[in-house]
Structure 1
Amino acid sequence: MLTLLEQIDKGTLWRAHGGVHPPELKSLSNQTTIGQLPLAKHFVLPLTQVGDSALLAVEVNQRVLKGQSLTSGTSFAYCPVHAPTSGTITAIKPMPSNHASGIEVLSCIIEADGLDEAIKTDAHHAELSNQEILKIIQQAGIAGLGGAAFPTHIKLSPASEIELVIINGIECEPYITSDDRLMREHSDEILAGVAIIQRLISPKRIIIAIEDNKPEAIDAMQHALNSSTLANGTTRITAVPTKYPSGGEKQLIQILTGQEVPSGAIPAQLGMLVQNVATAYAINDAVANGQALTQRVVTVTGLNSQTPGNYWVQIGTPVKHILDTLGFNGNVANDKIIIGGPMMGHSLPDISAPVLKGTNCLLLPDSSEIADSVAEKPCIRCGECAVACPALLLPQQLFWHSKAEEYDKAASFNLHDCIECGCCSYVCPSDIPLVEYYRIAKSAIRTQNEEKKQADFAKLRFEARLKRLEDEKLAREAKAKEAAERRKGSMSSGDKNAVAEAMARIKAKKAAEAGTEPAPSNDIADKKAQIAAALARAKAKKAGAAAPTSEAAANKESAPADANDKKAQVAAAIARAKAKKDAAKAANTANTSGQSETDAVSANTAPAADDKKAKVAAAIARAKAKKDAAKAGNPATPDDAIAQSEADSATADKAQSADDKKAKVAAAVARAKAKKQAALTGNTAAPADVIAEADAVPAETVSAADDKKAKVAAAVARAKAKKLAEKAKQSIQDTDMAIEPETVSEPIETAISETRQETVSNIVNTKDSTDAENSADASVSLVEESASILTAEQQKKARIAATIAKAKAKKAQAKLQEKE
């Protein structure tokens, strides 16, 4: 079985699917040699030819030379645009494009000076490397001149190995003869360009394909091949049967090799490369002569053309200049001006549009050459379009989806494999412009893909921004943590404790706001315990500093030296609570006592005839009530003193009094009061209880050496004496006893006299002001208790005596203070 290369060497051809045979009409333009079109007055160079990677390298009012690049760029896909002649840049603005839509694109306008002065270049490709040659081709701005205008330097840098290079000289489009005349007149230059391609690619075979309707071109190329360095068996010229569109890249590969390029693939993936003969000529001109791509051969044909033929036209020349120079028989407003051939060309809406690198023909047909526009009729589903399609597509399906704007479905039927050859439109009996629908659908899909691409790019940028912000946040946190660790390492123990306390307060505050208890972490539990213990010790020290000196002395005697601070704090709190409770009870008792005494005085003085005595008695009773109330609410008795009094009372019971006489007198007075109260109430059990209470805490047994203990004992004695007096008064009121004044007046007066004398004696003999107060208070209490059973007159005398006793006691106290 023969290999592919052996079959190619034998000249084997394969049949391609589809295609049509339209009238050729090439004789209108291929009878004359290629002419030179005179320079236009101004040129329009669209900058969109070079892609988005180019930068404008000139400015307005700048003079440029022929072959000077108007743009710059470093991208591999960059393809520059050059000045076609010398002149001045007058404007850079949007101008109508060479497109069926006529949309305006940014263009550079050059006003020609007529000198056609070119830049100086020299190149010797024999001394250049392959990379340098590719660089020259790129800088020359060479692109595919067959119509696609794809950058040539990219095609000549394939990623895979190329075994077969095809030089396309088919030119199957009707009317177009530019390649035909170029092969006839410049075959040597074309083969020189093919030799450069062979040097860059190193293929195993090179085929120069020419349609069999161009016999002169085939002869010229064969003669040039025989005299060139390519005549070594690797290069051959093959005549291809005339059929449209056999000049298509994929169709020509199928005809010459029998292989079909897969959908979405390129010939390089099959190890093949296709270049146009005009492109090969431009490659040689750039590498051998250093000339940039500034002109090309354009076929001007059609019955409306006065001088049809092929002409060298500078790129950027306005179509209007060509029409004005060569003559135009038609009407610009009514007759069509077509860029390209009748099958794949498009009507030009504005003749001010320029000639581009891919412009190979300017067709000027009259009404006999082109049919009038007819209305589109419904598709009859004849299937002729599918038979004529060289790409093996389903034109009906593509038409329906394109018309319904179902572009996704159209793409699923391989819309992008359509080469827009126009065979389907040519054979359609319903005159449906199928190719126009396909072009619109392709444009819409490109727009959607571009929008999707931009959206994806924006998404990537957004995600990258989020990632950058997150990285920056983590970096800041790591930096702050590192700084905190450094500060923590340089902190002293006191600073660490302060920080721990602050953190504890913050957590407690947050927990309180949230309504939950703070949950201390395990690593700071010990530190919090130490802080709490320190606070407890500070509070205990503060309480100890505020307490009286006597309390500290009592604590030294009673409390052990190693007492727990926390237990002491708890005990102090309990003592304060008890003291507050006792003070509240004392206030209530004083109020009740004052009210009872007032009522008793009112009851005893009601039968009396003397109103004045009653008023005096009532006033005295009110004064006593106020005094008792003031004593009960006296803030001078602190909570700690009351609490300490309980501890000191126990100590006072154990201590022996130095003054036996005072102890005996106090005991006798207490027993006498108990007996009198029992006699008044009729309660036999009361005297023992009262005597026991009186003996338990005698105020006179306190040693004079300890002033504070004496004061505490005196306070306790006064409170208990008041309580006994109140009980006696209440018992008298409850029983409503009628006591004759005569039976008690004399003993009571005697007791008052004795008490007064005893009080004076105590005041004179005592050395301590507290003892004097205690003696006076005890005498007054006894007098008050005795006066409760007297008549109104006797009560008055008793109160006067009590008042005098109190005054004397205060006077004696003042004298003692002055002596001290």
Structure 2
Amino acid sequence: MLTLLEQIDKGTLWRSHGGVHPPELKTLSNQTAISQLPLAKHFVLPLTQVGDSALLAVGVNQRVLKGQPLTSGTSFAYCPVHAPTSGTITAIKPMPSNHASGIEVLSCVIEADGLDESVEHHADQGERSNQDILNIIQQAGIAGLGGAAFPTHIKLNPASEIELVIINGIECEPYITSDDRLMQEHSDEILAGVAIIQRLISPKRIIIAIEDNKPEAIEAMQHALNSSSLDNGTTRITSVPTKYPSGGEKQLIQILTGQEVPSGAIPAQLGMLVQNVATAYAINDAVNHGKALTNRVVTVTGLNSKTPGNYWVPIGTPIEHILSTLGFNGNLATDKVIIGGPMMGHNLPDLAAPVLKGTNCVLLPDNTEIADSTAEKPCIRCGECATACPALLLPQQLFWHAKAEEYDKAASFNLHDCIECGCCSYVCPSDIPLVEYYRIAKSAIRTQTEEKRQADFAKQRFEARLQRLEDEKLAREAKAKEAAARRKSSMSNGDKNAVAEAMARIKAKKAAEANSEPAASNDIADKKAQIAAALARAKAKKAAGSNTTPDANTEQTAVSDKKAQVAAAIARAKAKKQATQQQLGSDDKANDSVDEVTEIIAADDKKAKVAAAIARAKAKKQATQQQLGSDDKANDSVDEVTEVTAADDKKTKVAAAIARAKAKKQASQQLAADDQANDSVDAVTEVPAADDKKAKVAAAIARAKAKKQASQQLAADNEANDSVDAVTEVAAADDKKAKVAAAIARAKAKKQASQQLAADDQASDSVDAVTEVAAADDKKAKIAAAVAKAKAKKLSQATVDSIQTEQKQSAEVDDAISTSQGSASELTAEQQKKARIAATIAKAKAKKAQAKLQEKE
């Protein structure tokens, strides 16, 4: 079985997967020799072309010479940028880049002086080491000129042994002929560069691969090889069948060796190295002639180019200078300018962008050479893209994930192995720009990777900071301990005793504070217990007071006459005491109301009017409630006296008379208190009346209504008391008469309740009317006052009539009672019992009616 090197020596070729055969269209530019492009007026040199860790070595207004480095650096990956001609640096600023995005990058702008003076070349022909040669290549700024622009000095210093070196002269993309013409015209220089590579790498075999559609280049390179110092046994020229993209690094290795470079690996890991023929030419220029990489061969082609061909173009020349110098047949507003070939190139958005080290073609196609942009159609899953992919990928899956921005899944399908050759887009029947999706996905992944790297770096810095702070803290603590130990060792016995005594005092103080806390808590508990005991005594006293009710007194009265009299006396005393307390409370509330009204009037005249009306309404409502309460108490007292009368008729009559007298006296006192409260309110209301005519009218109306209401309330109270007394005395006479009296009492209670509600509603309406009139104007106030006086007069007349009617009915009842009193002594014990029951029922119904009246109010 033949080894790999033996198969290479025999010229064995292998077939690569995928690929397409697009039209070549190379004859437009390969028929003429390479020419020199005239110098531009200014040059733009991006400072981030290749490599990293570069520092700017020049400044604005500084004159530079051709070949002078504009940047400096010490990193192994550093690759400098050189001035393409002599001139003055006019600016260092962001300029449009030679990229599909047109994004601006920091660039150095050189205004050419036309002299094209260069720095002095030092071509040392003496003995040089391999490291010296690598340093020369690095300082010359040589990078891969096939399009990748990877620093050459890094590639020529592999970590592993290289057995096979491949010099790539395929140039498989349509239109591009720069390498073809370079091999035809400068084959000796290229082989001289190959010899330098052989010295640095010492491979076992060197293959110069050229596509079979370049017979002139193959012949020129073969003649140069025969006359060179290279060994024909280890170096050979191999013709490769024309197929796109056979010029790809991994694809060319597969064609020449039959081996596939694993995903994520580089050819050096397989013992192989690939260099472009233009890069070999630049290596010879740098090592043997001391020239930096300042220009390169660029193919200018396309039907829109007036003079297509290959030109030596200084790096940094604006594209617009090339078009203006060589001529452009198209319309810059509509026709495209493509950097690179039609398969892997990109449309240039800004013609001010410069030529870079990796720029090998400027394509100027017309409408017949390039298809119009068509709308993207849905994928039909034909699988043509997978068949044409030379990297054995799944373009359809990559497309779905890239479109859905699922970049992690796209990376899992080996997205980074895509060489962006454009075969998938070329064969796609749906006109889907697959390569554009892949480029966007790659850019997004690079951005995410960079962000993750920065985040990890920030995390490391943060953790280092925390560790530093912790170390500093431990160092301070250790230092403090050492200082304490030194002080302790230097202390005398007296000092140690003083410290011990101080520590003992501190401990004793803490112990005393700890002991005082339970004592304080015990004092608080004792105080709480005393308060709880006081509350319990108060509740017991209140319960004892509430248990002494008229019902209990009634039960004792049934047992003994004497006890009934005592209970009646106690009840009367309690009623009197409660009436006095209520009277005092009403007086205090009335005084408080007067004070509140006075303060409000002093603040604002308008608010004073409203407050006065509200205060009068509250006073009226309070007086009504108090009056109803006093009525209930009076009735309770009368009921108690009536029950005592069942035992002793004579004493009962006396007690009833006393109870009626006291109830009337209490009602008259209540009326006097109400009049005083109303007079106080009126007096306060009349204070601002000197300045306000409206307030006077409102106050007068309010006083009249309040007095009228009080008189009605007094009359109603007297009638109620008289009616209860009459019913009670009639019930003692006869059971039938008691029922009649009870019915009369119920009727009067209902009528009294309805009259009271009507009087309250009318009084409230009058107060509201007065309030609204006071807030209006003077004329409306006078009209409203007249209406209110008329209503009050009418209400007064109706109330007088009702009082007279009630007095007549009361007289009739009194006559009936006096008639029945003569025969009261002749009643039997059974009839007296029935009378007491009827009186109790009447009393309960009267209380129920009064309760309903209070709820309605």
The aligned runs of 1:414-429 (5 Å cut-off) are 414-429=414-429
1:68 aligns with 2:60: no
Q: What is the rounded CA distance, in whole Å, between the counterparts of 1:268 and 1:429 in structure 2?
A: 38
Query: Contact 2:50/2:150 (CA < 8 Å) preserved in 1?
Result: no
Deviation at 1:342, TM superposition (A): 0.2
The aligned runs of 1:144-183 (5 Å cut-off) are 144-183=144-183
Residues 1:495 and 1:397: Cα distance change in structure 2 (over 3 Å)? same
Q: What is the rounded CA distance, in whole Å, between the counterparts of 1:513 and 1:274 in structure 2?
A: 88
1:45 aligns with 2:45: yes
Deviations 1:62-112 (A, max 9, x none): 000000000011111000000000000000000000000000011000000
Deviation at 1:49, TM superposition (A): 1.1
Deviation at 1:498, TM superposition (A): 2.7
Larger radius of gyration: 1
Aligned to 1:222: 222
The aligned runs of 1:295-310 (5 Å cut-off) are 295-310=295-310
Q: Which amino acid aligns with 1:270?
A: L
Deviations 1:737-780 (A, max 9, x none): xxxxxxxxxxxxxxxxxxxxxxxxxxxxxxxxxxxxxxxxxxxx
Query: Contact 1:399/1:434 (CA < 8 Å) preserved in 2?
Result: yes
Q: What is the rounded CA distance, in whole Å, between the counterparts of 1:510 and 1:52 in structure 2?
A: 68
Deviation at 1:513, TM superposition (A): 7.6
The aligned runs of 1:398-417 (5 Å cut-off) are 398-417=398-417
Deviation at 1:126, TM superposition (A): 4.8
Aligned to 1:489: 489
Residues 1:217 and 1:481: Cα distance change in structure 2 (over 3 Å)? same
Deviations 1:385-419 (A, max 9, x none): 00000000000000001011111111110000000
1:283 aligns with 2:274: no
Deviation at 1:506, TM superposition (A): 5.1
1:339 aligns with 2:339: yes
| TM-score under structure 2 length normalisation | 0.59
Aligned to 2:110: 110
Q: Which amino acid aligns with 1:38?
A: P
Deviation at 1:52, TM superposition (A): 3.9
Deviation at 1:114, TM superposition (A): 0.4
Query: Contact 2:123/2:289 (CA < 8 Å) preserved in 1?
Result: yes
Aligned to 1:269: 269
Aligned to 2:58: 58
Q: What is the rounded CA distance, in whole Å, between the counterparts of 2:395 and 2:323 in structure 1?
A: 37
Residues 1:516 and 1:47: Cα distance change in structure 2 (over 3 Å)? farther
The aligned runs of 1:473-552 (5 Å cut-off) are 473-505=473-505
Query: Contact 1:125/1:133 (CA < 8 Å) preserved in 2?
Result: no
Deviation at 1:296, TM superposition (A): 0.2
Aligned to 1:124: 124
The SS at the match of 1:483 is: helix
The aligned runs of 1:609-624 (5 Å cut-off) are none
The SS at the match of 1:313 is: strand
Q: What is the rounded CA distance, in whole Å, between the counterparts of 2:105 and 2:236 in structure 1?
A: 43
Residues 1:488 and 1:436: Cα distance change in structure 2 (over 3 Å)? same
The SS at the match of 1:274 is: strand
Runs of 5+ consecutive residues of structure 2 not aligned to the other structure: 518-857
Q: Which amino acid aligns with 1:11?
A: G
Residues 1:274 and 1:516: Cα distance change in structure 2 (over 3 Å)? farther
Deviation at 1:41, TM superposition (A): 0.3
Q: What is the rounded CA distance, in whole Å, between the counterparts of 2:408 and 2:437 in structure 1?
A: 14
Q: What is the rounded CA distance, in whole Å, between the counterparts of 2:53 and 2:79 in structure 1?
A: 9
Query: Contact 2:226/2:232 (CA < 8 Å) preserved in 1?
Result: no
Query: Contact 2:146/2:360 (CA < 8 Å) preserved in 1?
Result: yes
The SS at the match of 1:127 is: coil
Residues 1:137 and 1:502: Cα distance change in structure 2 (over 3 Å)? farther
Query: Contact 2:167/2:276 (CA < 8 Å) preserved in 1?
Result: yes
Residues 1:478 and 1:223: Cα distance change in structure 2 (over 3 Å)? same
Aligned to 2:142: 142
Aligned to 2:14: 14
Q: Which amino acid aligns with 2:445?
A: I
Query: Contact 1:66/1:86 (CA < 8 Å) preserved in 2?
Result: yes
Q: Which amino acid aligns with 2:236?
A: R
The SS at the match of 2:49 is: helix
Name the structure with the higher helix share: 2
Deviations 1:342-371 (A, max 9, x none): 000000000000000000000000000000
Q: Which amino acid aligns with 2:498?
A: A
Q: What is the rounded CA distance, in whole Å, between the counterparts of 2:168 and 2:429 in structure 1?
A: 32
The aligned runs of 1:598-747 (5 Å cut-off) are none
Q: Which amino acid aligns with 2:334?
A: N
Query: Contact 2:67/2:119 (CA < 8 Å) preserved in 1?
Result: yes
The SS at the match of 1:48 is: coil
Query: Contact 1:318/1:354 (CA < 8 Å) preserved in 2?
Result: yes
Q: Which amino acid aligns with 1:67?
A: G
The aligned runs of 1:778-789 (5 Å cut-off) are none
Query: Contact 1:303/1:364 (CA < 8 Å) preserved in 2?
Result: yes
Aligned to 1:442: 442
Deviations 1:443-464 (A, max 9, x none): 1111111111110110011011
Aligned to 1:92: 92
Q: What is the rounded CA distance, in whole Å, between the counterparts of 2:273 and 2:142 in structure 1?
A: 16
The SS at the match of 1:332 is: coil
1:235 aligns with 2:235: yes
Deviations 1:714-738 (A, max 9, x none): xxxxxxxxxxxxxxxxxxxxxxxxx
Aligned to 2:34: 34
Q: What is the rounded CA distance, in whole Å, between the counterparts of 1:151 and 1:394 in structure 2?
A: 31
Deviation at 1:512, TM superposition (A): 7.5
Query: Contact 1:397/1:410 (CA < 8 Å) preserved in 2?
Result: yes
Q: What is the rounded CA distance, in whole Å, between the counterparts of 2:369 and 2:348 in structure 1?
A: 17
Q: Which amino acid aligns with 1:420?
A: E
Deviation at 1:48, TM superposition (A): 1.4
Deviation at 1:133, TM superposition (A): 0.6
Q: What is the rounded CA distance, in whole Å, between the counterparts of 1:418 and 1:511 in structure 2?
A: 81
Deviation at 1:121, TM superposition (A): 1.7
| TM-score under structure 1 length normalisation | 0.62
Residues 1:509 and 1:242: Cα distance change in structure 2 (over 3 Å)? farther
Q: What is the rounded CA distance, in whole Å, between the counterparts of 1:382 and 1:140 in structure 2?
A: 49
The SS at the match of 1:273 is: strand
Aligned to 1:260: 260
Residues 1:514 and 1:143: Cα distance change in structure 2 (over 3 Å)? farther
Residues 1:262 and 1:488: Cα distance change in structure 2 (over 3 Å)? same
Q: What is the rounded CA distance, in whole Å, between the counterparts of 2:514 and 2:403 in structure 1?
A: 66
The SS at the match of 2:199 is: helix
Query: Contact 2:51/2:151 (CA < 8 Å) preserved in 1?
Result: no
Q: What is the rounded CA distance, in whole Å, between the counterparts of 1:514 and 1:395 in structure 2?
A: 81
Deviation at 1:496, TM superposition (A): 2.3
Aligned to 1:5: 5
The aligned runs of 1:438-477 (5 Å cut-off) are 438-477=438-477
Aligned to 2:198: 198
Query: Contact 1:14/1:258 (CA < 8 Å) preserved in 2?
Result: yes
Deviation at 1:124, TM superposition (A): 2.5
The SS at the match of 1:49 is: coil
Deviations 1:780-820 (A, max 9, x none): xxxxxxxxxxxxxxxxxxxxxxxxxxxxxxxxxxxxxxxxx
Deviation at 1:497, TM superposition (A): 2.6
Runs of 5+ consecutive residues of structure 1 not aligned to the other structure: 518-820
Q: What is the rounded CA distance, in whole Å, between the counterparts of 1:479 and 1:183 in structure 2?
A: 75
Query: Contact 1:389/1:423 (CA < 8 Å) preserved in 2?
Result: yes
Deviation at 1:473, TM superposition (A): 1.2
Q: Which amino acid aligns with 1:395?
A: P
> When the two structures are aligned, how many residues end up with a matched partner?
517
Deviation at 1:483, TM superposition (A): 1.9
The SS at the match of 1:334 is: coil
Q: Identity, % of aligned pairs?
A: 90
Residues 1:485 and 1:276: Cα distance change in structure 2 (over 3 Å)? same
1:208 aligns with 2:238: no
Q: Which amino acid aligns with 1:248?
A: G
Q: Which amino acid aligns with 2:220?
A: A
